[in-house]
Amino acid sequence: MGAYDELDRERQQLVDDLLHDTRANGGLAPLDLPKFWRDQEIAAADPFGKTIPQCAFGAVLTWECVFDELGVEQDWWRFLYEDEPWALELSKRYNDLAENIVGRRILNEQPRDREREWPKVKELYDIFEAENVWEGGASGSWWLKQSANDPGELSALLDRVEKRLDNLKEFLFPENWEEEKQRLLGLGCEVPLYRGQRGPCTFATSVFGSENLLFLYYDDPALMRRFSELIGRAIVERARLIDAEAGPESVAKRAHGWGWADDNCCLFTPEMYEFFAMPIHRRVFDAFAAFPGAQRYQHSDSAMGHLLPLLSELDLTGVNFGPTLTVKEIRQHCPRARIDGQLAPFTYSRNEERNMVAEFLRDFGQAREKRGLNFTTAGSINNGSRLSGMRLLMAAVQRYGRY
């Protein structure tokens, strides 16, 4: 049963009315585009604002959606890494459509400026000897490979990590770092800061394996605690070394908090999460998100509602959780957080128009009293999501999402 079927009859009629008007308008939802984007600019600046005209909208389509929209075979590798002229040509074609349908050119059309690219600084996964590998061919993605397969290997790995942390600067930065830094600073570039990370559970299960890590809680809690402690230490020390390279003025201007992406947290019981992940959260947020106005963000687009009482301690200011969670229950535990959600990603990518509008009515109804909703997908925006669908959601916001 979809979201439409769960609505009362009055709100079902609202859905039907908008879809009827969409069909009568040649398949594009009726929408005052200039007014929408003016109101969106106000709402996006502060989704909690007492004078915002409408609900903030975040379900703007991404480069991943060009393939189905243009009828081109999906090839992420070619688009991202192999054939920039082809990627830019697709982006321009897509933007030509987007400009007519949603009133904005929404994809980048500018080539990369390779003269302004920073040399690679080793990542957290390098510290833990995990190899980052592209898998799945043309439509694949990056995956971290395990660097330890049993408790003995993990213990030995952590020994090496500790030694690495004792001289981390030499390990992190490439030999040409200082030369390239001076060149890029001269061009007006700033050292990229480190303020976001694959979350504690997802990172750790990538390094050691999901089942291995969960069993470790029962079999060797001391080793699990050590693993947690070293992840937290490595994150903080890596970030502080990069901050030192950027300089205090640059850091003060750009450091706005910290963000996590931790889908695998759903695998942890609350007890496991408190034992392993929460110490890392506390340590990192205390180091980089303890000042007034700091952003504290968590993306976990999985069924992790059982962890909400623990996450409430962190005073999150932004969240993007899985579609099994509701706006109401998220708000109960995250009172200050901008809620990026709760549209199911596949409702969008399958172009389930009736359910798309219904999910907006459901979410806006739950958010209306306290506000703070940025209506978007509860997770990623996937290929198959169409510009006509984006426009339909924009029309739903304009028609039914007014404050």
* 5 and 82 co-located in one domain: no
In a domain, residue 235? The reply is yes
Closest CA to 264 of 194, 195, 212: 212
Q: Which of 295, 326, 346 is the last residue of a domain?
A: 295
Residue 242 scores a pLDDT above 80: yes
pLDDT digits (tens, 9 = 90+) for 65-111: 999 999 999 999 999 999 999 999 999 999 999 999 999 999 999 99
Contact assessment for residue 367 and residue 389, using Cβ atoms and an 8 Å cutoff: no
Looking at every residue in the chain, the average pLDDT score rounds to 97
Across the range 137-160, mean pLDDT stands at: 95
Name beta bridge partners: 296. 258
In a domain, residue 185? The reply is yes
* 197 and 225 co-located in one domain: yes
In a domain, residue 86? The reply is yes
Phi-psi region of 296 (alpha: psi -120 to 50; beta: other; left: phi over 0): beta
Across the range 144-150, mean pLDDT stands at: 97
Work out the pLDDT band at 1, boundaries 50, 70, 90.
confident
Cα R_g (the chain), whole angstroms: 23
Can you give the residue range of the structural domain that contains 95? 63-106
* 379 and 274 co-located in one domain: no
- For the chain, percent of residues with pLDDT exceeding 70: 100
At position 144, the amino acid (one-letter code) is L
Beta strands in 129-232 (DSSP E): 132-135, 141-144, 196-198
Q: What are phi and psi of 260, to 5 degrees?
A: -115, 150
Residue 289 scores a pLDDT above 90: yes
Give the C-alpha distances (Å, rounded to integers) separating 367 from 162, 334, 362: 46, 12, 9
What pLDDT score was predicted for residue 138?
87
In a domain, residue 312? The reply is no
* 199 and 57 co-located in one domain: no
What pLDDT score was predicted for residue 226?
98
DSSP letter (8 states) at residue 145: P
In a domain, residue 304? The reply is no
Work out the pLDDT band at 255, boundaries 50, 70, 90.
confident
* 137 and 216 co-located in one domain: yes
At position 349, the amino acid (one-letter code) is S
Closest CA to 255 of 300, 290, 298: 290
C-alpha angle 268-259-204 in degrees, rounded to nearest 5: 35
Residue 26 scores a pLDDT above 80: yes
* 153 and 88 co-located in one domain: no
* 156 and 79 co-located in one domain: no
In a domain, residue 310? The reply is no
Contact assessment for residue 27 and residue 349, using Cβ atoms and an 8 Å cutoff: no
Residue 139 scores a pLDDT above 90: no
pLDDT digits (tens, 9 = 90+) for 336-376: 999 999 999 999 999 999 999 999 999 999 999 999 999 99
- Report the domain count for the chain: 3
What pLDDT score was predicted for residue 283?
98
What pLDDT score was predicted for residue 243?
97
In a domain, residue 237? The reply is yes
Q: Which of 50, 72, 106 is the last residue of a domain?
A: 106
Phi-psi region of 191 (alpha: psi -120 to 50; beta: other; left: phi over 0): beta
Q: How far apart are CA 39 and CA 285, in angstroms?
A: 33
Q: CB neighbours of 132 closer than 8 A, spacing ≥ 6?
A: 123, 125, 142, 143, 144, 145
Residue 282 scores a pLDDT above 80: yes
Give the C-alpha distances (Å, rounded to integers) separating 218 from 205, 267, 274: 16, 15, 14
* 395 and 321 co-located in one domain: yes
Give the C-alpha distances (Å, rounded to integers) separating 268 from 20, 25, 210: 45, 48, 10
Whole-model pTM: value is: 0.96
* 150 and 260 co-located in one domain: yes
In a domain, residue 208? The reply is yes
Contact assessment for residue 103 and residue 182, using Cβ atoms and an 8 Å cutoff: no
What pLDDT score was predicted for residue 17?
98
Q: How far apart are CA 232 and CA 260, in angstroms?
A: 13
* 129 and 268 co-located in one domain: yes
Name beta bridge partners: 282. none
What is the domain-level CATH number for residue 195? 3.20.20.210
* 278 and 148 co-located in one domain: yes
* 95 and 148 co-located in one domain: no
